[in-house]
Amino acid sequence: MPRIEFAHLRELKDRVGQEIAVSDWLEMTQERVNLFAQATGDHQWIHVDPARAQRESPFGAAIAHGFLTLSLLSKFLGDSIAFASARMGVNYGLNRVRFTAPVPVGARVRARLRLRQLEDIDPQGQTHGVQMTWDVTLEREGSDKPCLVAEWLTRRYE
C-alpha cells in the first residue's frame, strides 16, 4: 500500500473516527521470532523450537510472541503514515490490548489503523504536538479472526 502523508498534524483533525491506513503484509519469520526471544530473554519453546511446537503445541507450529506482534505496531505505523511536520514521535502507552489469536511462524500479518482521538499536548503552545489514540487491528492473512486488537497512544511533536 502507498504511504499516506500528512504535511501538518492539524490535517488529522478531520480524520478522527476514520481508518487512516492499512499496512503492507509482513511475514513472521522464525529468524524474527528468535531475535525477539534473544532480545527479551523469552525462550519459551512454543516460540523458538519449531519441531517441538509442531509435536506438542495446540497451535501445531511455532508462534510469535504476543509482545513481538505488539512491538511491530510502530513499524506498521511508520511504514504506512508519514507526518512530514513532526520532528519526532514517541509511544505513549496502551489503554487496552488483547492477543486474540496466535501468529504462526510463516504467517503474514498487517495492521489496520483507525484514528480514535486527537488531542493537543500543550494547548498553551510551549511544545506543539498531538496525542493520537489509535484503534489497531492486526490481521493474519487468510484468517477471519484478528491476532491483536489494541487501543494505542502515540505522540508527535512539531
- Is the per-residue pLDDT at 29 higher than 90? yes
Q: Is 125 inside any structural domain?
A: yes
Q: What confidence score (pLDDT) does residue 123 get?
A: 60
CB atoms within 10 A of CB 48: 19
Question: pLDDT band at residue 44, thresholds of 50, 70 and 90?
Answer: very high
Q: Is 37 inside any structural domain?
A: no
Parallel/antiparallel/unpaired status of strands 108-120 and 26-27: antiparallel
Angle at CA of residue 84, ends 89 and 138, nearest 5°: 55
CA distance 153 to 12: 15
CA distance 75 to 36: 14
Q: From its phi and psi, is residue 125 left (phi > 0), alpha (psi between -120 and 50) or beta?
A: left
pLDDT above 70 as % of the chain:
96
User: Dihedral, CA atoms, 50, 51, 55, 61, nearest 10 degrees?
Assistant: 20
Q: What confidence score (pLDDT) does residue 10 get?
A: 83
Question: pLDDT band at residue 124, thresholds of 50, 70 and 90?
Answer: low
pLDDT digits (tens, 9 = 90+) for 47-102: 999 999 999 999 999 999 999 999 999 999 999 999 988 889 999 999 999 999 99
Q: Which domain holds residue 21?
A: 4-28+64-157
Q: Residue 126's domain is classified under what CATH number?
A: 3.10.129.10
Q: Domain tally for the chain?
A: 1
- Is the per-residue pLDDT at 2 higher than 80? no
Q: Is 47 exposed, middle or buried (0-12, 13-18, 19+ CB in 10 A)?
A: buried
Q: Is 20 inside any structural domain?
A: yes
Q: What confidence score (pLDDT) does residue 77 get?
A: 95
Place of cell 496466535: 102
Q: Is 47 inside any structural domain?
A: no
pTM for this model (two decimals): 0.90
152 Cβ contact list (under 8 Å, min separation 6): 73, 91, 93, 94, 95, 97, 133, 134, 136
Q: What confidence score (pLDDT) does residue 148 get?
A: 98
- Is the per-residue pLDDT at 1 higher than 80? no
- Is the per-residue pLDDT at 154 higher than 90? yes
